Each structure stands twice: as structure tokens, then as C-alpha cells.
Amino acid sequence: MNKEQLMGMARKTLENAYAPYSKFPVGAALLLKDGTVVNGVNVENVSFGATNCAERTAIFTAIANGYKKGDFQAIAVAGDTEDFLPPCSICRQVLAEFCMPDMPVYLTNEKKDILELTLKDLLPYAFTELDM
């Protein structure tokens, strides 16, 4: 699957976001090494601390379905923002827990441009099990 296809899935998924408070829907499409794609959306709560981001929703869903650390091949994050929409810091840390540093991360904007980075580009000094 190419980055355009994966981003298309993330864009389609953001329609399912539950964002009644921020009006800021986000969709994610997580490509697994076996070719499976797990989608995620942000799910808000009136208590904002209970909100879950699209990237974590996708990762946690994959884990709940039996996938393991290292099974992740790429992730696309979609939103309608002027600039490229990156994962928040909590999501970056969760990505660092389950994904390899060289895993592609695709970001988009309202113009549908795609920026390709690696996880290490997003989180160059990740806190990992090596720091324990």
C-alpha cells in the first residue's frame, strides 16, 4: 500500500471522529506488517483529559486485536489544518513504545499535501526502555 492510499483511508476515517467540543476531527490509518490497516479517530470527552487521539486509538485497537510491538509498518494522520498535522507528544511517546524509529509517519494538511517523516524525525530523543 502506498502513502496516498493509506492517507486516503485516514482522511475517510476522520469522518467518524467524535469531536463535539473542539470541532477538530482527526483520523489515523495504521498499516501493519501483514497488510492489515487499523483505523483510529479522536474521541473527545467533556473532561478533556479523558479524550483519546486518533493515533492512540489505532495503536490500542491493534494491540487489543493481538498485534504486538514491532508489527507496525506506517501511520498516516489526517486533519484539515493549514499546516501538516503532527501527532501530539503523548501519541509520539506511544508510537515510540510500539514502533521502530525508522517507521514512516505521513502527515497531511487541508490541501491534501503529504509530508513523509520517520518516527525518529518526530521524536529524536525518545524515552525508551533503553532509558530505564
Let me know if 4 is a catalytic residue. Answer: no
Which of 40, 15, 22, 25 lies closest to 94, judged by CA? 40
Residue 132 clears pLDDT 70, i.e. is over it: no
Q: What is the distance between the alpha carbons of residues 89 and 126, in angstroms, rounded to a whole number?
A: 10
* Domains identified in the chain and CATH numbers: 3-131 (3.40.140.10)
Q: Give pTM, 2 decimals.
A: 0.94
Alpha helices of the chain — where are they, by DSSP H? Answer: 3-13, 54-64, 89-98, 119-122
Ligand-binding site membership of 99 (annotated) = no
Ligand-binding site membership of 91 (annotated) = yes
Q: Which of 4, 15, 55, 97 is catalytic?
A: 55
Pairing of strands 27-32, 114-118: unpaired
* pLDDT tens readout for residues 23-55: 999 999 999 999 999 999 999 999 988 999 999
